[in-house]
Structure 1
Amino acid sequence: MSISEFKKGRGAQLNTANKFHEHSHEIRDDFLNYCASEGEEAEESRTTIIETFPKTIVNKVTSPDVGLEYSLNPYQGCEHGCIYCYARNSHEYWGYSAGLDFEQKILVKRNAVELLEQKLRSKSWKATPIVLSGNTDCYQPIEKELRITRSLLQCFLKYRHPVGMITKNALVQRDMDVLRELAQENLVHVNLSITSLEEKTRRILEPRTATIKKRLETVEKLSTAGIPVSVMMAPIIPSINSHEIMPLVKEVAERGALGVGYTIVRLNGSIGQIFSHWIKKAMPDRADKVLHQIQQVHGGSLNDSRFGTRMKGEGEFASQVAQQFKIAKRLYLKDRERPQLNCKLHEEFKDGQMKLF
């Protein structure tokens, strides 16, 4: 199949079965043929926004190799449509598929700011960095309209609480006024996710994300404004972007990034089926090679849940990637480090203003 046969603007090309459901369904070929003959769509392709009102918003992260203690996700599901996204599996807990549903059914936590304020005012809460987008991107397209992420940042500023951010959307530039105020008291750090320098690669891997040009521009603008910014090259995918490590680190360093991190792709749960189906349509000439190389990195399987190895892999390819990053950091990021976030101010601002006595 060719790229032209893709569902336009989507990463996943199918809905996988939800493992939590007793029943599943599939679209039969005769139905697809009927739709084609009648000029009809087999599936609804528009994005649906679903409002939710959870009881809590700050999540304790128990994984020992993620590098954060608490996360906050104002949205579940992500319209960016990154084909490799590890968060896809979490959509099954909400009753949806990790495939197209993940990109088309976006759950919005309408009371996110109220819940965060309750958390930060709690007498038992001790300030520790909370990361926005530990799961799905807080600056995905719907944020432009709803502005929940901006309101969350304003809440962190009000209570002088440290916050980290991970995004691949240039919309973060909209909130530079709030980020600048947070940065002045060392309360924020931003991670820009940049997987490739090649726009063609970006378009097929991450169909609804900001362009590479806009993301590089964002790194530079944040850095110039005094907002600490680093870059995540995640994930590294063999034979797709693995050749770009050195030039990408050099480029983001020149734009002012304070550091670079990475992970190697892992295809847990339904993502293995979604990615395999996608790559055989998008890159039929190298699909088997890429899938085989991913298996070599993860002990012979696409699925790798082992703490300690799942993020960086093992074997010759993983060692080569680690060595390239080590060299790149030494060449382009020597003596740079991001400042430690300030956890000391919050106690004095628990009621939303500085205590005088």
Structure 2
Amino acid sequence: MDDASALYIGLISGTSADGIDAALVRFERDRPRLLAALTHPWPDELRTRILAMAQDETRLDLDAYGRLDVAIGECFAAATLRLLEDSSTTSAEVRAIGSHGQTLRHRPHGEHPFTLQVGDPSVIAERCRIDVVADFRRADVAAGGQGAPLLPAVHAMLLGSPGRTRVVLNLGGIANITVLAADGRVFGFDTGPANGLMDAWCLRHRGEAFDRNGAFARAGSVDSELLAALLADPYFALPPPKSTGREHFHLAWLEQQTRLSLLSPADVQATLLELSARSVADAVDRHAPDATEVLACGGGVHNSALMERLATLLKPRAVRSTADEGVDPDYLEAMAFAWLARQRLLGLPGNLPAVTGARGPRVLGAVYPASA
């Protein structure tokens, strides 16, 4: 298939496991252009299992792990088939799928660092009849890197502005920033929680998967003592490169705070929102003091309370959605994994060592071919 006319699909379910984002992409002058996209919902029972495992609330035996891997792969395949149908695209028109999978663990430190994303790529390839590229993070970890974040190269490609410093802020379950420096340097890291803790607290106390427009947080008041205790977590003071996930910032982490029992659920939610906003703002102030604007993407752009607080804390910098630059904030990550799949097939690196801390550029991902 001629790559100039080929289509690619990117798939990802983020830390919040709030759905599988699927993006259909064509590359024009090596830049991805979004043609169609959708978010495919998780079955409630499967999402509950994913979150329990990702939050270290349960242990899986090998049989249960294997079944979960396949079940997630089936859902990723269903998302792909729905995207193909909705966009009137045939499998034959798609060169490859880049599947990030679902992260269950991310522990890039210690004697045996590892990162674990599941969603059987062979199942996706078999159901969709399209080659799949998956397992993007482990090569970077093997090379001494964090394996994350992997989006900064695409941020630079789509949102860089020579001569001025911009920050791209991804507000998923975890927040990460990409600093696009005026001199062309690109670096970035995970700043800490974005939506993940707020989503989990909202689900527990309101039975809702997320805090729509921050209404739950707006009903409470920030508790300065709890906020100070949460911001004292050593992760926030670590220098980059660094990355984190739900296995660190989860409800059990929050529940270590004895003050929690003295506060209303709404006050805790307000404090969690402030934690997300404050940790992002602190990171920008420290690592991109000359930035003139912050371009936000990810699910958090739809939380008006969070965006308003970020705008206040980051003044005089402008805080805008990437939509203002013609980049869909909901599907930028999925587009990036389509790009990573193409990089793998072209034999080109997908990581930025200045971001992840790897010993050098690495070709990322493994190819799972579809049957003829």
Larger relative strand fraction:
2
TM-score of the aligned structures, taking structure 1 as reference length: 0.31
The structure with higher relative contact order (CA 8 Å, sep 6+) is 2
TM-score of the aligned structures, taking structure 2 as reference length: 0.30
**Rg (Cα) greater in structure:** 1
